[in-house]
Amino acid sequence: MPVEEIPRETLLWMYETMVRIRVHEERVAELFAQGKVPGFVHLYVGEEAVAVGVMANLRREDFITSTHRGHGHYIAKGGDVKASMAELFGKKTGSGKGKGGSMHIADLDVGELGANGMVGGGIPHAVGAGLGIKLNGLDNVAVAFFGDGASNQQNFHEGINLAAIWKLPVVFVCENNQYQISLSYDKQQTIKSVAERAKAYGIPGVSVDGQDVLAVYEVAKEAIERARRGEGPTLIEAKTYRFRGHFEGDPQVYRSKEEVEWWKKNKDPIKLFEEKLLAKGIATREELDAIWEKARKEIEEAVKFAEESPWPSKEELLEDVFSTPTKGVLVWQW
Ligand SMILES: Cc1ncc(C[n+]2csc(CCOP(=O)(O)OP(=O)(O)O)c2C)c(N)n1
Ligand SMILES: [Mg+2]
């Protein structure tokens, strides 16, 4: 979509939010390497335009469901970075009181129904939210984010089918970053685009360059408006790329350094958007630099907050924790 058709305020929000995610993720990588963030960490560097292009069309009261790679979704939905950073550290002040960690950030205040350690696990939740919206006669929408790997899961097929036959206000956003862990896309699926699967459910399917925030914005706008009008779901495939490993510590033996470097050099969503903003005179270099400075300051404050926060006490260990015990044994948790 041409920049001229989008308010300057929205354009700057998009830039600022992509920068905030990038600074957050690169800082978390350092903190993880220092041993300050326990558990697995999957970062969103390189994929920022997807969350931001979609979320620029959402209201606070709309819902999202996220993935194991969910920090970017949370930040773009307007989440509190202090609460999520404290959660990453396992501290009591975290959004899940320190018991969820990176893969389980949820915050109902901003409509984030949950990141999810189960691949494809958020899809049925979004469909449930869509059913709730419809039964209550509201005009909100629910957006399910998931990966290319998740699009091979039963949850994906059942979820889209139900949303399609019931015309639910759900938008399915597949972040096709071309790998599920070490398995490349062409080894997972025979179709060129995940969006082709929409045909099987009788709904619109569209594939978009996920490194171009304005292209994502445009297709998301159409899908979200369609859902709000009660016309049912859309499947969007955003073709993107993760600049870091599947998780922090991934040796990445399944792809070449040249491939990664090519994407960083030619398809960095922030650089591409920046060039456009400068060329069109939407912002000056100084204004953009100030945005980076502000983001760094904000993330440092969140790190300080997390570091200074207390650990949960032993007595709280079993509070707010739910499970399905099988003969006294806790079910598998990834
Ligand atoms: C149900 C389930 N099966 C397997 C796993 C192990 N696993 C974690 S991430 C992942 C790959 C997911 O790939 P994709 O959906 O493309 O997301 P990406 O990591 O690329 O963002 C797998 C198989 C899991 N967490 N949950
Ligand atoms: Mg993937």
Q: Which of 98-102, 224-228, 272-276 has the lowest mean pLDDT?
A: 98-102
Q: Tens digits of per-residue pLDDT, 114-144?
A: 999 999 999 999 999 999 999 999 999 999 9
For residue 256, name the pLDDT band (cuts at 50, 70, 90): very high
Report residue 250 as tokens: 């991934």
Nearest ligand to residue 150 Cα: 1
Measured N-to-C along each axis, helices 285-308 and 8-33 cross at an angle, to the nearest 10 degrees, of 40
- Dihedral angle at the C-alpha atoms of 308, 113, 179, 204, nearest 10 degrees? -150
DSSP 3-state of 170: strand
For residue 324, name the pLDDT band (cuts at 50, 70, 90): low
pLDDT at 318: 85
For residue 269, name the pLDDT band (cuts at 50, 70, 90): very high
Q: Residue 333 pLDDT > 60, yes or no?
A: no
Q: Residue 325 pLDDT > 70, yes or no?
A: no
Q: Tens digits of per-residue pLDDT, 154-194?
A: 999 999 999 999 999 999 999 999 999 999 999 999 999 99
Question: What is the β-pairing status of strands 183-184 and 179-180?
Answer: antiparallel
Q: How far, in Å, from the CA of 162 to the mean position of ligand 1?
A: 23
| Burial category of 51 from C-beta neighbours within 10 Å (exposed 0-12, middle 13-18, buried 19 and up) | buried
pLDDT at 326: 55
Q: Tens digits of per-residue pLDDT, 35-54?
A: 999 999 999 999 999 999 99
* Domains of the chain with bracketed CATH: 3-316 (3.40.50.970)
pLDDT at 323: 66
Task: Decide if 229 is catalytic.
Answer: no
What is the SS3 assignment for 253-282?
A: CCCCHHHHHHHHHHCCHHHHHHHHHHHCCC
- Other CB atoms within a 10 A radius of the CB of residue 292 amount to 16
Q: Which of 254, 255, 285, 296 is catalytic?
A: 254
State how far the Cα of 129 lies from the Cα of 132, in Å rounded to an integer: 5
Q: Residue 74 pLDDT > 80, yes or no?
A: yes
- Is residue 216 within 8 Å of residue 208, measured between CB atoms? yes
Q: Residue 105 pLDDT > 90, yes or no?
A: yes
User: Between residues 324 and 303, which one has the greater pLDDT?
Assistant: 303
State how far the Cα of 328 lies from the Cα of 56, in Å rounded to an integer: 46
Q: Residue 152 pLDDT > 70, yes or no?
A: yes
DSSP-derived secondary structure for 79-141: --HHHHHHHHHT-TTSTTTTSS-GGG--BGGGTB----SSTTTHHHHHHHHHHHHHHTT----
Residue 6 is given by DSSP the state S
From the alpha carbon of 118, which atom of ligand 1 is closest?
26
Q: Residue 334 pLDDT > 70, yes or no?
A: no
Mean of all residue pLDDT scores within the chain = 95
Atom 5, ligand 1: residue with shortest CA distance: 119
Among 180, 186, 240, 333, say which to mutate for ligand 1: greatest number of ligand atoms within 8 Å of CB: 180
pLDDT at 331: 47
Among 73, 119, 154, 178, say which to mutate for ligand 1: greatest number of ligand atoms within 8 Å of CB: 119
Residues with CB under 6 A from ligand 1: 42, 68-69, 117-119, 147-150, 177, 179-181, 246, 334
pLDDT at 317: 85
pLDDT at 131: 98
Task: Decide if 246 is catalytic.
Answer: yes
Q: Tens digits of per-residue pLDDT, 2-13?
A: 889 999 999 999
Q: Tens digits of per-residue pLDDT, 307-318?
A: 999 999 999 988
